[in-house]
Chains A and B, each alone.
Chain A
């Protein structure tokens, strides 16, 4: 029975170990969608636990959840909306960075769009905090910039 299970690739699971030492199982067909994981499987074999130094136990389950749904062909707009609904901005950023590391294209594209949507019409200060950058303009430069983008005012939401 065990031999049958291991010879059928569709039900084979791969073990992934996060940077903080936790192990998660994922189906081989879902792992295939993450090119980094697939490359590691090709190099190390599919029987050992694949180490993912830059993905942690907080985000990997969410990524696995996405691809579990993907392999059954059930990703709809409603699912995607639900997927990000309870995530705050930092959580989305972390997932985005992880999806990039894992070369998980579909999730990465979806999260890119979600980040763009979250930034839409937000104030300059909000965008600064989001990208984690400091204002390095002089007062003269700032006032020149304000003038240049005066056309875009009155569409900006208050900081949330």
Chain B
């Protein structure tokens, strides 16, 4: 600041006009950059970049975007992720355009576009906020080319086995109120990053779609889900990308996070395989729309609609099976009678 001051003193000492009419930009660029731009949040930085070409140039410093990205998602402070994102064409700015809002992808593109080859690796950056403050941040690199991953159901677990992470959330006795409190105050972001294609997306509904206590273990299960299009004319025509946070704790104590995982379910309620799941995710990442969720409770409604769809399909399958069983029994009876007749009974 002292060096900049020396240059300003010489500029300003020569100006005799009242300081109230001078533009803030008569100051050295460093001052604007170091003291004002570094303090702006992402939205304001984006607006400032759109004011004029000079400010746009100042705002295109990746360090500014890196700083505001790390404030929004502390998991992005991780050096590996930082390095990966810096190689993207727009650096940390692209994380905002790709992952600030949840992904929306409703039309299946399988007939319109060639299948995209799977990336060798996907990076997950997970952040949980409680009452607006970050309480949990973790990253996980997943190798997506291994046979084990491709042939098993899609499953990305963020935590280590037997790990417990405390959260500053009190476990209280009055269940309904407490569940509503968690629904209103928890926020989870799961940013999936493809280091090869240099894209990312947010696969979390951001606010919980469901908070419930497990009937046996009494663990708290918090679900965040996004519905997306899969492959047409199959059980994966629509899929649910679900993030499940499992917590345990004692009444009066703090909640501890035990598991944070991502799975994908199809319309039959079954788990989508790693191979198919990654294919669906890649299409969503490339072609999906990113936009702000419309209205309070919209994601919860979509989640419930999907659950109903799964239930209806199950019931229909059950009815069809019953009908088929009934029909087979009738045919078997008729054949039996006919044989008896032929045999001369």
Contacts and interface: CB of A to CB of B under 8 A. Distances in A.
Q: Do these two chains interact? A: yes
B50 A108 contact: no
A146 B50 contact: yes
The 4 closest A-B pairs by CB, nearest first: A132-B23, A116-B39, A149-B46, A112-B35
A55 B19 contact: yes
B40 A119 contact: yes
B48 A152 contact: no
Given A124-B47, A151-B97, A100 B25 contact: no
B54 A133 contact: yes
B36 interface: yes
Interface string B40-58: 1111101111111111100
Contact of A58 (B8, B16, B20, B97): B20
A14 interface: no
Contact of A152 (B19, B31, B55, B96): B96
B41 A120 contact: yes
B217 interface: no
Contact of B23 (A59, A121, A131, A154): A131
B57 to A, nearest CB: 11
B9 interface: yes
Interface residues of B, number: 44
A136 B51 CA distance: 8
State the majority secondary structure of interface residues on B. Answer: helix
Most buried by B among A105, A127, A149, A152: A152
Given A119-B47, A142-B50, A152-B42, 12 more contacts: A53-B16, A56-B20, A100-B27, A109-B35, A112-B39, A119-B48, A133-B54, A136-B53, A137-B50, A151-B100, A151-B290, A156-B47
Given A54-B12, A56-B19, A131-B23, A36 B47 contact: no
B8 A100 contact: yes
B111 interface: no
Contacts of A93: 24
B2 interface: yes
A103 B8 CA distance: 11
B189 to A, nearest CB: 14
Given A128-B52, A131-B24, A148 B97 contact: yes
Contacts of A130: 24
A150 B50 CA distance: 12
Contacts of A142: 50
B31 A149 contact: no
B44 A105 contact: no
A131 B13 contact: no
B292 A54 contact: no
B54 A149 contact: no
Interface in B50-69: 50-56
B36 to A, nearest CB: 6
B12 A132 contact: no
Contacts of B116: none
Contacts of B39: 112-113, 115-116
Contacts of B216: none
Contacts of A146: 50
16 contacts: A35-B5, A36-B5, A56-B18, A58-B20, A101-B5, A103-B1, A115-B39, A116-B39, A119-B44, A119-B47, A131-B24, A131-B48, A132-B25, A135-B52, A149-B47, A152-B43
B22 interface: yes
Contacts of A109: 35
Contacts of A56: 18-20
A22 to B, nearest CB: 13
A155 to B, nearest CB: 5
A156 B49 CA distance: 14
A90 B20 contact: yes
